[in-house]
Amino acid sequence: MRLVILDNYDLASEWAAKYICNHIIRFKPGPGKYFTLGLPTGRTPLGCYKKLIEYHKNGDLSFKYVKTFNMDEYVGLPRDHPESYHSYMWNNFFKYIDIDPNNAHILDGNAADLQAECDEFEKKIKEAGGIDLFVGGIGPDGHIAFNEPGSSLVSRTRLKTLAMDTILANAKYFDGDLSKVPTMALTVGVGTVMDAREVMILITGAHKAFALYKAIEEGVNHMWTVSAFQQHPCTIFVCDEDATLELRVKTVKYFKGLMHVHNKLVDPLHSMKEEN
């Protein structure tokens, strides 16, 4: 497990975007060889998506041979609703890059058979060869995707009832009206994300500091589902300084020390130009 600490949100977003970019470039995707990427929604990844769009517009990164799988979607919200995760992904990312719409997989919260939809999603991930890099964010209560506190740490894609804390947190997207906030969602399971070859979790802001503390310094606990990734063989937590406020000074110094060793991260733009 690695913890990468950057000074602020913008730098954390850029670091994450470069990391994704590097992975895609080094994979050398092409016909019959797709890079498979798991993606989150919410406010945290917006800066990362903005940077990835920038790399694409500059001609430095293509998503033509990338398949994506999103973490979750609300149940019962029309696909074209401005707060659906379909709308979020297309309006904030997909419409600005060259991804084939058939390769952008998002759960259908209006499917006639929701369990069948979840099973089919798991099947599509397997058929794609598994996920190479799953990017995630967390809530203040440490949930990843919609795996709320108390979720099984070996769970698969399924229907979940949202916790009141999550409903309250999401009310800001629905004019502050709790009655408009969906109470159920389809979500990948903790086990689904754990199956990815690599996981990168973005955590920024002081309001996520206690969750980062629980994820890093305490043991694995199903009440803080993000803590499960302590047991993943290749997890990176990317955060800003504000998110480290609850960590011990010794912990922060330790991981910052490791960053000096790992800071051979190649700028994706230079790396690609060298390979070309």
Annotated catalytic residues are 72, 141, 143, 148
Report CA torsion sign: 44, 178, 182, 211: positive
**What sign has the CA pseudo-torsion 106, 190, 159, 76?**
negative
For 213, other C-beta atoms within 10 Å of its C-beta total 19
CB 268 within 8 A of CB 52: no
CB count within 10 Å of CB 108 equals 17
CA distance 105 to 87: 13
Q: What is the 3-state secondary structure (H, E, C) of 110-179?
A: CCCCHHHHHHHHHHHHHHCCCCCEEEEEECCCCCECCECCCCCCCCCCEEEECCHHHHHHHHHHHCCCHH
Write the DSSP symbol of residue 189. Answer: -
Neighbours of 242 (CB within 10 A): 18
Residue 115: other Cβ atoms inside 10 A: 12
Q: For residue 45, what are the contacts with CB-CB under 8 A and spacing of at least 6? A: 13, 16, 39, 135, 137, 202
